Amino acid sequence: MTALDATPTRAAGAGATLEFVTIHGSWQRAARGAMLLGDDGTAQPSIFAEMSALAAATGAINLGQGFPDEDGPAEVLEAARQAITDGVNQYPPGRGIPVLREAIAGHQARWYGIHVDPEREVLVTAGATEALTATILALTEPGDEVVVFEPFYDLYGAVVELAGAKLVTVPLVAPHFESDLDALGAAVTDRTRLILVNSPHNPTGTVFGRETLELVVALAERYDAIIVTDEVYEHLTFGVEHVPVASLPGAAERTVTISSAAKTFSVTGWKIGWVIARPALIDAILSVKQFLSYVNGAPFQPAIAVGLDLPDAFFVDAAATLQAKRDLLIAGLTTAGFATSTPAGAYFIVADAAPLGRVFGEAGDAANFCRELPALAGVVAVPVTAFVRPEHRPQYASLVRFAFCKRVDVLEEAVARLGRLAR
Ligand SMILES: Cc1ncc(COP(=O)(O)O)c(C=O)c1O
């Protein structure tokens, strides 16, 4: 068999082009892991791409994708402009510029009492995306198991499959999306290599409490697994405390902490993330990371150092502003007839569309409902099933994720439009 299978997978006729030919390679594992490999062996567009295109085509308000529509702190933006002017435009050091690594270490000490060596225990990456990818590729062997809570961020499935490892899921059940500790205990075995904990959690907004996190640590110790955390929403919690796993007794030795500037400073396009772990783990992850991006974002690195050093008030206010937006959208969704959950963190509300009855549709399928929502109400959202493996989708079939990281006037307009569903 060649790299290009000569047999077109669809009846493409004489004008067959590459897109009609099966391309062999490990991309198929990545697509399958992200639940985007079609039955015919082709890559399907993600629901986010489909829904964003729908929003653009219909003029609907896009509450599907989780990116803010307002700029972050002026000091941070100005620092990036200044860095470009000052000529900070060439490859930065492989581990990230010292001033940013020191700011990341200082941030961990200030907020969580975690003390790390900026020289050997911090690695700057191209967003949390690269941090997660490099970590999973670096620390797993084919056949190893990676335990995650489900629904899960699509990247986890893609990279775990790319690595030849196996994703094992622990369900978070509506309406509260708490973890079942027995299910967690049963999922971790001596085949488990990584336990990946995303808290605050996308898409459910769950902020895992100490009991769950302590069990994660105990299980990791018992089975000699490594804990990987995805804490990109660490500062966006509403009245509850974010507890980094690495702050728990005994955890720091075996925890890889991952975070990012994207959500905290509303700079999702800058792609500055980081990894914090013991030196041997950082060295292992760096061995892969250096051949993914090598380095990134030279002028953005000093700017994020400025951001991390901002006074406490900035972080507290950002969470309070977002909480008010959450409450605005919850009220609107409730008035429109959805049953909503109240997320304790992150950017998203999971709403159950089943109570909408006929408007939701006979099929009882949130993916179809989301395709119709622009016509019904001029709003775009995404089905939670996009974050769930096909065999588990029935339990999540009526759930829809709405992002509330948008301007207040945009949310108000969305709420007014969603009100049409109630009529
Ligand atoms: C849970 C989670 N992890 C990671 C990322 C990616 O972070 P970054 O933009 O820093 O790569 C996102 C972005 O939406 C996310 O929601």
> Which run of H or E residues covers position 276?
strand 272-276
Q: What is the pTM of this model?
A: 0.95
**268: CA distance to ligand 1 center in Å?**
8
Section 306-321 average pLDDT: 98
**127: CA distance to ligand 1 center in Å?**
7
Residues contacting residue 407 through CB under 8 Å, at least 6 positions apart: 69, 70
Q: Decide which of 2.60.40.1120, 3.30.70.20, 3.30.300.30, 3.40.640.10 is the CATH code for 74-309.
A: 3.40.640.10
Q: Measured from the CA of 230, which atom of ligand 1 is nearest? A: 3
**129: CA distance to ligand 1 center in Å?**
6
Residue 127, ligand 1, Cβ within 6 A: yes
Average pLDDT value for the chain: 94
The pLDDT assigned to 40 comes to 87
**51: CA distance to ligand 1 center in Å?**
18
Residue 204, ligand 1, Cβ within 6 A: no
Residues of the chain with CATH 3.90.1150.10: 47-71+313-422
The pLDDT assigned to 5 comes to 53
Section 403-422 average pLDDT: 96
The pLDDT assigned to 364 comes to 80
The three-point CA angle 32-402-75 to 5° equals 100
The pLDDT assigned to 35 comes to 93
CATH superfamily membership of 47-71+313-422: Aspartate Aminotransferase, domain 1 (3.90.1150.10)
Residues of the chain with CATH 3.40.640.10: 74-309
Question: Is 141's pLDDT higher than 60?
Answer: yes
274 vs 257: CA distance, rounded Å: 8
The single-letter DSSP state of residue 46 is: P
Residue 200, ligand 1, Cβ within 6 A: no
325 vs 322: CA distance, rounded Å: 5
For residue 258, the cross-strand partners are 230, 275
Residue 156, ligand 1, Cβ within 6 A: no
Confidence of residue 12 (pLDDT cuts 50, 70, 90): very low
What percentage of the chain carries pLDDT values higher than 90? 88
DSSP secondary structure string, 10-34?
A: S--GGG--GGGEEEPSTHHHHHHHT
* Among the ranges given (21-30, 136-145, 327-336, 400-409), the one the predictor scored with the smallest mean pLDDT: 21-30
Residue 194, ligand 1, Cβ within 6 A: no
The pLDDT assigned to 21 comes to 65
203 vs 192: CA distance, rounded Å: 24
Q: What is the pLDDT of residues 378-396, one digit of tens each?
A: 999 999 999 999 999 999 9
Question: Is 77's pLDDT higher than 60?
Answer: yes
